[in-house]
Structure 1
Amino acid sequence: MVYPFSAVVGMDDMRLALLLNAVSPAVGGVLVRGEKGTAKSTAVRALAAVLPPVDVVPGCRFGCDPAAPDPACPDGPHEPGAGAQTRPARLVELPVGASEDRLVGSLDIERALTEGVKSFEPGLLAAAHRGVLYVDEVNLLHDHLVDLLLDAAALGRAYVEREGVSVQHAARFLLVGTMNPEEGELRPQLLDRFGLTVEVAAPREPGLRAEVVRRRFAADADPAGFEARWAGEETALADRIAAARALLPQVVLGDAALSQVTAVCAAFGVDGLRADIVTARAAIAHAAWSGRTDVTEDDVRVAARLALPHRRRRNPFDAPGLDEDTLEQALDDARPDDPEPDPDDTAPEGDGGPDGGSPDGGSPDGGSPDPGQGPDQPSSEAGEGAPTEGSAAQGSGGDPSPPTDDAPHAEAAPAPERAAVAPDEAFRARRLEVPGIGDGVAGRRSRARSERGRVVGSRRPEGSVTRLHLVDTVLAAAPHQLARGRSGPGLRLAREDLRQADLEGREGNLVLFVVDASGSMGSRTRMAAVKGAVLSLLTDAYQRRDKVGLVTFRGSDAVLALPPTWSVEAAAARLTDLPTGGRSPIAAGLLRAHETLRVERVRDPRRRPLLVVVTDGRATGERGTDHLAQAHRAAGLLQAAGTASVVVDCESGFVKLGLAHTLGVHLGAQTLCLEELGAQELVSTVKAAA
């Protein structure tokens, strides 16, 4: 049973965004961001059931419209009006682990070269034509697949190019992606390609939560009865979508509404003009959904809330969001001048907004088809996870002068714990990489054998040929041409002549940070610099599509502050809030890292790790123990496991002991000073050496 769309409780923004795209697929799709268990997948799968059915050419694998068949359809040509078959709109799901051929379709290169037959097997883009293409966990999809997916969605066509053989077909679909931000973000360039974005969270009101559980139990106990109970609402919703689609060509975007669209986009400083176009299309779709032929200010307000949060200028680790005051001010500034008011007229204007809408632009879809719907859930964007005021700020009183930390005594009393300090400004970090060639997941850090990259050689294919090495194929076939009876200009190929190209690209790695938060690092200026440097490396990891983890050590133990994850934002938040103080148990930090990497090798064996140890190298603890020797033994374990490591030496002052460098020797690691992490610093060093 497919859970009815009308029976989804709450989630008004998500439902409205999906419906606007159902009315006008030109809006560009929906990205739904939210925590796990918030009905994201349930709502998307339910949407297909209320979409109007489509007419297709009988037997066409690409779902061509009989009224206007695709002239380039590989199953064509189709004669207009030659017959039609009606079927429901399809929901096609793209698995995270899908290959490129599974997405766009595959050409049989072997038959094309040896038999001259253009054999094409359609992919998921062809199946989704005139339906819904759903990508769950889109943030975990390989970047090159997301690029192909969004290009097809923007162009309305899918292209397959393989060694001079080309196929294209129509691919117009409603694109919906869902993701949990805790598992990593999409690149800003890809985020911008989704038309609308909504944030969802579980309702906090006990009454709404109880209604969700009540309906879920009812659906599980009697699926047929539950579906019949909501059949009327589903039919009404499908009819409303069809009516809005019919009304859409008649909707007029007036100059006043267009001025408001562009004013709002300019107020939020969005890059490019895609935001203006998407906002305008969403406003037109909302007017059609509301049964109007003129776009109003309320339509623009709703469209801006859905189209702009992920497009505004922000730092890499800032969550998408929209400032309501800025939005209202921009709409105010672009509103046409009212007639000159009577100065004696003191009667207040109505607070309901244009056309009697709610002052806060609340649910504008003219009412929910759900009769049991509760009140709107509160926004989860404001204040959630934000640090308390003054958590990083330091008052002049009560902040004792930090003790000097240049004395090498291992048994000195530990420095008192200090509140977290704010990191220095981030910079562009140099690329740290794992030596050798891996077979990991596609990324942008270390060298790896991959399906995309530069050609480095060729081999006999074990299965079907996906990347032909043309030169080596010709060289393999050339000595056999006379024996095969070649008499004309054509080259006679056999299966054994074909060569698969070996490609070398870049992979993503697991970057595990081990950060010293002890008292010896507690100098305010030094810890701020350390946090700024690690934050820069985190930004670099975000851009290179790495998995990250964070181990911190201070006092008497080390903790895994953040298990390996794709959420670089979570790592940045944990780092910013990290307090300092206490002794320096380096051995505990390295042993914790060793255990974390051991578990990750079992869980994700293809992803090679890179250990980044940020410390001044001082090991302190209880008296009577050689803590440096313990740290060096722990470092030997990591080296014996083949862990690629980098030590960032944070020691400062005129007299330096070189303890971090010694630790790096035992790790078999490259040791860098804090100042050497910047890419610009690396360029300057190379120029000076030259």
Structure 2
Amino acid sequence: MPKHFPFSAVVGSDAGLDSNPMALALILTTISPEVGGVLVRGEKGTAKSTIVRALAAVLPPIEVIAGDRFSSDPRDPAPLSPDGPFAADAASETRPVRLVELPVGATEDRVLGSLHLERALSEGRTEYEPGLLARAHRGILYVDEVNLLHDHLVDVLLDAAAMGRSTVERDGVSVEHAARFVMVGTMNPEEGELRPQLLDRFGLTVEVAAPRDPALRVEVVRRRMAFDADPDAFVASYAEDERALTDRILAAQKLVDQVELSDVALLRIAEICAALEVDGMRADIVMARTAVAHAAWHERSEVTTDDIRAAARLALPHRRRRNPFDAPGLDDDLLAEILGDDEPDPDPDPGPGGGSDSPGESAHGDRSEADATEVDPAAGQSAQSAGRSAPGTPATPGATYRTRLLAVSGVGAGEAGRRSRALTASGRRVGAARPVDRFGAPHLTETLRAAAPHQRGRGRESGPIRFRGEDLRVAVREGRESNLVLFCVDASGSMAARTRMEQVKTAVLSLLLDAYQRRDKVGLVTFRGTGAELALPPTGSVDVAARRLRDLPAGGRTPLAEGLLEVTRVLDLERIRDPRRRPLLVLVTDGRATAGPDAVARSRRAAALLAARGVTTVLVDCETGALRLGLARHLADDLAAEYLPLAEVSADALTGTVQRSIRQGAA
């Protein structure tokens, strides 16, 4: 069995877990599993996975009923286990706490469990094969890159987290078993955000960043190289620290039910949640449980202000009310004011801006991004009082709105999402096929149909039908997929009128919000002056695209051909990198082409080249005013694109247009 890096060897944890928010959050949620798990957000290479995998080794072992596949507690008077019922004097055994990893690409059957197909076909027996949730009961369920988890698996986790049990009703199987686990998720925010419903199910959240102190970085590298060189010797050198940590966790688990949470402490928790405008009541409950666990960790029998402060910093950052593209955070000054602190702590916990660094060091990290912008010399004219933006000054977008659905034509086979039609693991059943693996919902009618022609050759004269493995057929389902939504935005001088650019940015931000909700990847290409730029390579992080768009200046000539050629290059590259994800191009322009010789002719050739790729394209026409040239409509024809006026991007505006047309037709 491979050795894991010791929990107590993580740089920062050895100085005391209170200085390492990630380690502290993991410990508190194991002391009191009702807290609800931990979400760890941070950049790549910060040892998020290392410290999570090390956690299971320091947890006290648990007692289970011997032979029970569902880890039932012998002290439970009515264990919810399909292997039951059990005798009152059933034998028990002790085993380590399991850390079960849920792969991002797992199937729903693998997570929930399903009919044991081989035994059903070969022996005619209906038997349930437990899934990952059954194995994770009373343990830790770890999801690396949890923000990339498919929506149908997110729904499964939400149900299990809310009910504390898993129910399977399918394919002749009706099973219910307990599924109470500590859910730990890690994610890199640059690859996309988490669905709000799942985010709220994590009790605690921490931000991690790599240390900036050279001495700490040296120590991280030294320990990692020592572990890689001789894992056994390195683990043995921390054995005593690991045992001490296990004993302390066990003592806290025994004490947690005896900690007193006074009315004064509850009132203070409620005041903090109200002042920070958190949504719902789950924040109050989680914060109270975390404060109690923190008191037990410090061997206190009563919750103090320090416990409440630590709980607020871990339980509230991801629950405060915020705009769609804002990162989680907490106002430490307001927290100190509510708690009545006369002055800030001399050495406060890093809170949402700091966390475990590689491999687990705590650090204060400002993750805000300020993109520098250059002023195009061609945009150097003075701003006019008529409303043209000053050169290099980005226009501020307005409030986002609900957009109409833009989808890729045809039926794809990409990652599950919410945009275009596709063959996916979930959805309505549209056919049957041979299984790729042994998991999947069997299509019984098609399985019988496949086996029927071979019964004589298999020697069947009477009795049950004789099946073989090659007869098995599983359901083919049609659902929705996520797409690559590539935005190409004209930022030239013809778009620089402040009112127009504000409208453009508002529309694109609204489409970005729609892409976030539909779990798409997004990219951003801009063109102005003399060339085009890939402002944001395709990514799942919609909030980064929103920041780049807000900071986008406008001015200069319109290199339309260069913009279309850059889009073609990006799409060709992405087709190689991610061939299953179909692209949707959203081109935002007024159709002008003014940069370089033969600008119009080169633009038409570039449009023809892009159209030959067969990419579904939507052209958003930004031309406004009484006098219009209609160039964008001609460009849409060249691209074989759907033409969409800027005013009709809003779903409400489109609905109003349709209703007016119906009324006029009726009149």
TM-score of the aligned structures, taking structure 2 as reference length: 0.88
Query: In the TM superposition, what is the alpha-carbon distance from 1:237 to its structure 2 partner?
Result: 0.7
SS of aligned partner of 2:555: strand
Could you tell me which of 302, 317, 331 is aligned with 2:310?
A: 302
Q: Distance in 2 between matches of 1:302 and 1:443?
A: 37
Q: Distance in 2 between matches of 1:363 and 1:511?
A: 36
Q: How does 1:104-253 map to 2 (within 5 A)?
A: 104-108=112-116, 117-253=125-261
The aligned counterpart of 1:368 is none
The unaligned stretches of length 5 or more in structure 2 are: 13-18, 352-358, 376-380, 454-459, 663-667
Are the structure 2 counterparts of residues 484 and 327 from structure 1 closer, same or farther at C-alpha, using a change threshold of 3 Å?
Answer: farther
Query: In the TM superposition, what is the alpha-carbon distance from 1:404 to its structure 2 partner?
Result: 9.9
Are the structure 2 counterparts of residues 176 and 22 from structure 1 closer, same or farther at C-alpha, using a change threshold of 3 Å?
Answer: same
Q: Distance in 1 between matches of 2:74 and 2:498?
A: 71
1:419 aligns with 2:421: no
The aligned counterpart of 2:103 is 95
1:505 aligns with 2:513: no
1:670 aligns with 2:658: no
Query: In the TM superposition, what is the alpha-carbon distance from 1:537 to its structure 2 partner?
Result: 0.5
Query: In the TM superposition, what is the alpha-carbon distance from 1:359 to its structure 2 partner?
Result: 6.1
Query: In the TM superposition, what is the alpha-carbon distance from 1:422 to its structure 2 partner?
Result: 1.5
Q: Is the 8 A contact 1:391 1:419 kept in 2?
A: no
Could you tell me which of 5, 8, 13 is aligned with 1:6?
A: 8
- Larger displacement relative to structure 2 (664-673 or 171-180): 171-180
Letter of the structure 2 residue corresponding to residue 6 of structure 1: S
Are the structure 2 counterparts of residues 462 and 164 from structure 1 closer, same or farther at C-alpha, using a change threshold of 3 Å?
Answer: closer
Letter of the structure 1 residue corresponding to residue 510 of structure 2: S
Q: Distance in 1 between matches of 2:382 and 2:277?
A: 39
Q: Is the 8 A contact 2:435 2:472 kept in 1?
A: no
1:75 aligns with 2:83: yes
SS of aligned partner of 2:368: coil
The aligned counterpart of 1:514 is 488
The aligned counterpart of 1:379 is 364
Q: Distance in 2 between matches of 1:403 and 1:159?
A: 64
The aligned counterpart of 2:606 is 634
SS of aligned partner of 1:531: helix
1:27 aligns with 2:35: yes
Q: Distance in 2 between matches of 1:363 and 1:462?
A: 49
- Larger displacement relative to structure 2 (224-233 or 245-254): 224-233
The unaligned stretches of length 5 or more in structure 1 are: 333-349, 365-372, 393-397, 406-414
Q: Is the 8 A contact 1:192 1:311 kept in 2?
A: yes
Q: How does 1:296-375 map to 2 (within 5 A)?
A: 296-332=304-340, 358=345, 361-362=348-349
Could you tell me which of 571, 579, 593 is aligned with 2:553?
A: 579
Query: In the TM superposition, what is the alpha-carbon distance from 1:23 to its structure 2 partner?
Result: 0.6
Are the structure 2 counterparts of residues 119 and 225 from structure 1 closer, same or farther at C-alpha, using a change threshold of 3 Å?
Answer: same
Q: Distance in 1 between matches of 2:342 and 2:83?
A: 58
Q: Distance in 2 between matches of 1:363 and 1:89?
A: 29
Q: Distance in 2 between matches of 1:208 and 1:159?
A: 48
The aligned counterpart of 2:384 is 401
Are the structure 2 counterparts of residues 591 and 128 from structure 1 closer, same or farther at C-alpha, using a change threshold of 3 Å?
Answer: same
Letter of the structure 2 residue corresponding to residue 3 of structure 1: F
Are the structure 2 counterparts of residues 416 and 320 from structure 1 closer, same or farther at C-alpha, using a change threshold of 3 Å?
Answer: closer
Q: How does 1:446-457 map to 2 (within 5 A)?
A: 446-455=420-429, 457=430
Query: In the TM superposition, what is the alpha-carbon distance from 1:653 to its structure 2 partner?
Result: 2.4
Q: Distance in 1 between matches of 2:324 and 2:444?
A: 42
Q: Is the 8 A contact 1:556 1:584 kept in 2?
A: yes
Query: In the TM superposition, what is the alpha-carbon distance from 1:399 to its structure 2 partner?
Result: 5.7
Letter of the structure 2 residue corresponding to residue 581 of structure 1: G
Q: Distance in 2 between matches of 1:108 and 1:227?
A: 40
Q: Distance in 2 between matches of 1:384 and 1:163?
A: 50
1:601 aligns with 2:575: yes
Question: Number of residue pairs matched?
Answer: 636
- Larger displacement relative to structure 2 (76-85 or 534-543): 76-85
Q: Deviations over 1:352-378 (max 9, x none)?
A: 89xxxx4665489xxxxxxxx99x955
The aligned counterpart of 1:442 is 416
Q: Is the 8 A contact 1:67 1:81 kept in 2?
A: no
Q: Distance in 2 between matches of 1:186 and 1:362?
A: 25
Q: Deviations over 1:163-199 (max 9, x none)?
A: 4421122222221100000000001111111110000
Q: Distance in 1 between matches of 2:104 and 2:522?
A: 20
Are the structure 2 counterparts of residues 316 and 363 from structure 1 closer, same or farther at C-alpha, using a change threshold of 3 Å?
Answer: closer
Query: In the TM superposition, what is the alpha-carbon distance from 1:432 to its structure 2 partner?
Result: 0.6
Q: Deviations over 1:296-339 (max 9, x none)?
A: 1221111111111101111110000011122233334xxxxxxx
The aligned counterpart of 1:458 is 431
Q: Deviations over 1:544-593 (max 9, x none)?
A: 11000001111111111111100001111111111112211111111111
Query: In the TM superposition, what is the alpha-carbon distance from 1:294 to its structure 2 partner?
Result: 0.9
Are the structure 2 counterparts of residues 684 and 391 from structure 1 closer, same or farther at C-alpha, using a change threshold of 3 Å?
Answer: farther
Q: Is the 8 A contact 2:107 2:425 kept in 1?
A: no
Q: Distance in 1 between matches of 2:445 and 2:257?
A: 53
Q: Distance in 2 between matches of 1:294 and 1:391?
A: 57
The aligned counterpart of 1:62 is 70
Q: How does 1:523-672 map to 2 (within 5 A)?
A: 523-622=497-596, 625-672=597-644
Q: Deviations over 1:616-659 (max 9, x none)?
A: 1111123xx22111111111112111100000111122211111
SS of aligned partner of 1:237: helix
Could you tell me which of 628, 642, 652 is aligned with 1:680?
A: 652
SS of aligned partner of 2:509: helix
Query: In the TM superposition, what is the alpha-carbon distance from 1:92 to its structure 2 partner?
Result: 1.6
Are the structure 2 counterparts of residues 31 and 460 from structure 1 closer, same or farther at C-alpha, using a change threshold of 3 Å?
Answer: closer
Query: In the TM superposition, what is the alpha-carbon distance from 1:282 to its structure 2 partner?
Result: 0.7
Q: Distance in 2 between matches of 1:297 and 1:163?
A: 53
CA RMSD in angstroms, aligned pairs only: 3.2
Q: Is the 8 A contact 1:302 1:361 kept in 2?
A: no
- Larger displacement relative to structure 2 (67-76 or 570-579): 67-76
- Larger displacement relative to structure 2 (266-275 or 589-598): 266-275
Query: In the TM superposition, what is the alpha-carbon distance from 1:216 to its structure 2 partner?
Result: 1.7
TM-score of the aligned structures, taking structure 1 as reference length: 0.85
1:47 aligns with 2:19: no
Query: In the TM superposition, what is the alpha-carbon distance from 1:417 to its structure 2 partner?
Result: 4.2
Query: In the TM superposition, what is the alpha-carbon distance from 1:225 to its structure 2 partner?
Result: 2.8
Q: Distance in 2 between matches of 1:584 and 1:556?
A: 7
Letter of the structure 1 residue corresponding to residue 595 of structure 2: G
Q: Distance in 2 between matches of 1:596 and 1:662?
A: 24
Are the structure 2 counterparts of residues 378 and 274 from structure 1 closer, same or farther at C-alpha, using a change threshold of 3 Å?
Answer: same
SS of aligned partner of 2:648: helix
- Larger displacement relative to structure 2 (224-233 or 138-147): 224-233
Q: Distance in 2 between matches of 1:637 and 1:387?
A: 32
Q: Is the 8 A contact 2:278 2:321 kept in 1?
A: yes
Q: Distance in 2 between matches of 1:57 and 1:222?
A: 37
Q: Is the 8 A contact 2:536 2:548 kept in 1?
A: yes
Q: Is the 8 A contact 2:72 2:80 kept in 1?
A: no
SS of aligned partner of 1:65: coil
Query: In the TM superposition, what is the alpha-carbon distance from 1:460 to its structure 2 partner?
Result: 5.5
Q: Distance in 2 between matches of 1:636 and 1:21?
A: 58
Query: In the TM superposition, what is the alpha-carbon distance from 1:36 to its structure 2 partner?
Result: 0.7
Q: Distance in 2 between matches of 1:143 and 1:518?
A: 39
Q: Distance in 1 between matches of 2:67 and 2:398?
A: 63
The aligned counterpart of 2:282 is 274
Q: Is the 8 A contact 1:301 1:361 kept in 2?
A: no
Q: Deviations over 1:1-51 (max 9, x none)?
A: 311111111371101100101111111000000001111111111111100
